[in-house]
Structure 1
Amino acid sequence: MSLHDQFPAYGGRGPSDLRLGIALGAIATIFMIMRVYVRLRMNKFGTTALMLSLLAWFFTAITQVFGILSVLHGLGNHIETIEKVGELHNFLLFTWITVFFFNLAIPTGKVAVSAFLIEMNGPSNPKIRRSLIVVAVLNIVLNIPQLLMVWFQCSPVDSLWNPLKQADCDHRKSVYYTYFVGAIAALSDFYLAIVPIHMLIPLRIDRKLKWGLSFLMGCGIFAGVAAIVRTWAAKYILSADSSWGVGVLFRWGEVEEWIVLITMSIPPVWPIFRPFTNRFITSAYPSQPQYAYKNNNPYGSQQLYGSTAVASPLSPSFPPPLVTTTISISSMKGGETSTIVPSEFSPRNSNERTPHNIITDNKNKPWVELQEVNFKRSP
C-alpha cells in the first residue's frame, strides 16, 4: 500500500519536500555523530558548541518529524484536495506545531554556530567575539515573540487547528513579524559564513586546505539564501491556497535548518578526514637548511653554510647539532599566537613527528589538526 493510499491528502509539493528533508537530515545526523566521536575520542575542544549543536539538532529533528506528518496530511498539496478528503484539521494541527519547533530550531542553530566561532577565535580578536555574542543574543530575543505569536493568533487558541473557526484567527501580525525576523536570520547566516573565512585567510597553511575549508565553511551562505526565500514564502500563509504555498516555506526552512548544522560540523570533524588528505596537502613549514660537512684539517671540521666555511669545534665523527625552528601562527593580526616548536635535539638519524596544529584556544587545544611533518637533513 502506497503513501497516497494511506494518506489521501499526500501529494503536490509534499513528496519532494519530504525526500529533501530526510536526505539533509541524514547527512546532518552523520556529521553530529562524528562530532560526538571526535569530542570523546580525539580532542576536548568545543564542548559548549557541541552541546548547543546537539540541542539545535534535537529541535530540528522534531521539526522534521512534525513536518513529515504535515506533508502526509496535506502540506504542499492544494487546499481543495485536503478539504475534500477531510484532512484539514490534521493539516492545520501538525503544520502549526512544525512552525513552533521551527522557530525554536532556527535561533538555536545560529547560537550554536556563534558559540563555536567564539571558541575557535578565542581571545585573539575581541571585536569578532563581541559581534558573535550580539548575533546570538539577537536571534534569541527576536524569536521569543515569534514563538508566542504562533499560539496567540487565534482566540481561543484551539481555533488555530479548527477548520470551522478559522475566522477567529488573524495571521497578519505573525507574517509581518516573520519578515523582520527572517531578514535578521538571513543576515546572521551571511555573517556567520564570512567570519570563519576571515579567520582562515591569514593562516600560514597549505593553500588548497585553506581555500577548501573556506569554501566548505562558507556554504553557510546557502543557509542565508534559504532564509531569504522562506521569509518571502511566508506570504502564502495569508493566501487562499495556503497549504500549497506553505510547501515552499517548509522546503526552504528545512534547507536552512539542516545546512546550518552541516556546515558548522565541518571544522570539528576535520581530524577524522585529515589522514586522507595528506597526499593533497603540503607542509606550511619553511624548508630546512641543507648542511654539508668537510674535514680539511686534523684538528676539527669545517661546516659549510652556503658558500662560507665556518670552523666547527666538533670532531669529524660527532654528528652536527639539529637546528630547530619555532613557528608562530596567529589567526588575527595583533592576537595571541599558537607556537609550534619541533622536538628537542635528537640523534641525527631519528625521524621527528611534529603535530601541525592551527588555531588553539587559551588552553592550547587544537581546532584543526594538519598533517605530521618530517624534518629531513642531508648527510
Structure 2
Amino acid sequence: MNFELTEEQRMLADTLARFVAAQYGFPTRERIARSPEGFDRGMWRRFGELGAIGALFAPEHGGFGGAGDDIAVVFEQLGRALVVEPFLGALMAGSAIARVGNAQQRAWLARLIDGEAVLAFAHGEPDSRYEPARVATEAERANGGWRLNGAKAVVLCGEAADGFVVSARTSAAVDAEQGISLFWVPRDVPGMTLRGYALIDGGRGAELALRDVALPADALLGEADDGFATLEAALGCGLLALSAQALGAMEQAFGATLDYLRTRRQFGVPIGSFQALQHRMADLAIDIEQARSAVINAAAALAGPRRARERALSAAKYTVGQVGSKLAREAVQLHGGIGMTWELPLAHYAKRLVMIDHQLGDEDHHLARYIGFGFEGDAVQRR
C-alpha cells in the first residue's frame, strides 16, 4: 500500500500551510473565534478560493478531491492553526447531500465549495450519548410533506448556517438503525428555533429546537427509513477530519513545547538538556507517530467495506483522544505556570485537543465500538 501523498495533495498542504501561517496567526484566530458569529465569512470565502473546501468533495460533486487522504490533508493543516471556520459541518452535511441529495439539494454544494454558503449537520441530541443510531427527533408524513419535532444539540455554527441536514426517526425504536431519515431544513423555516452560545475552545454552537416544522416532500434526502448508511458515512468523514485535525494540533503543540525547552534556561543551561525532560518528549514523539499511523490507516479505509472502515475510524479517534489528552497535560506541565495563561497559544491547543476527544464520541465510546466491530457481523456490540 502506498502511503505517499500525491503531488496535488502535497501542493494543497503547502498552500494551506503558507496561508494559515501568513493570514491566520493566533491573534487573528482569537479575534475570529470570539466574534459574534464565531467565524469569519470573508475568511471562509478565501478558503473556498484556495480550494480547501473543494478538496473535501469528489469531482462529480463539484470538488476535486473527496478521498480520505484529501480530507486528512486539509484538516491536519486546519488543526495546526486551530481554524474555527465551519469545515466540519460543511464536510458532514455536504457528504450526505452529495451521496443521496436531489438536484435542488445538490445545488447547495456549489455555493458551499465556493465559500458562499454555510451548511450545518444537526444529528447529536441531548440524550444520544454518542450513539449514532439513537435518534429521538421524529418526522411524520403530513399534508403531502413532513412534520418534524425534536431537538438537536451542539450544532456547530448553527446560528450562521444557511441550511441544515437533520436526522429524524420515521419508524422503529429510538435506537434502531432502520427507520432513520435525513432531511434538508432551510434556515428560518417556521417552527425552528436556535439558541446560540460560545464554545469553550472557540467558535460557536447552537441548540436546535423543532416544533411542528413543516417541510415539503422533496426535503427528504434519499429514501425514507433508509438514511443510516448515509448518516454513518457522513459521521465517518467527520471522525477522520477530527482525527487529522487533532494530529495537526498535536504537532504544533509539540513543536512549541520543544522550542520552549530549548530556550528556557535554569542553572545556566536550557532545561531541554535535562534527561528526564528529554525522555518525556521522546515518549510524546513516539505517541504522535502512532496517532499519525492511525489517521493514515483511517484515511485509507474510508472508502472500504463498512466493518474495516468503522474499526479504522474508531481506532484513529481513540488514539488521538488518548494521545491528545496526554500531550495536552504534558505540554502544559513542561511549560510550567505560563502554560496555563490565556495569552499563550499552547493553552488553547491543549483545550482544543481535550474537546476533540468529546466530539463524535470519546475514547470509551470508540474503544467499545472498535471491539464491537471486531465480532462477526456488522452490528456493533452495545454496552
Q: Which has the larger radius of gyration?
A: 1
Coarse TM-score class (shorter-chain normalised): 0.3 to 0.5
Higher strand share: 2
- Considering Cα pairs closer than 8 Å and 6+ residues apart, tell me whether 1 or 2 has the greater RCO: 1
Higher helix share: 1
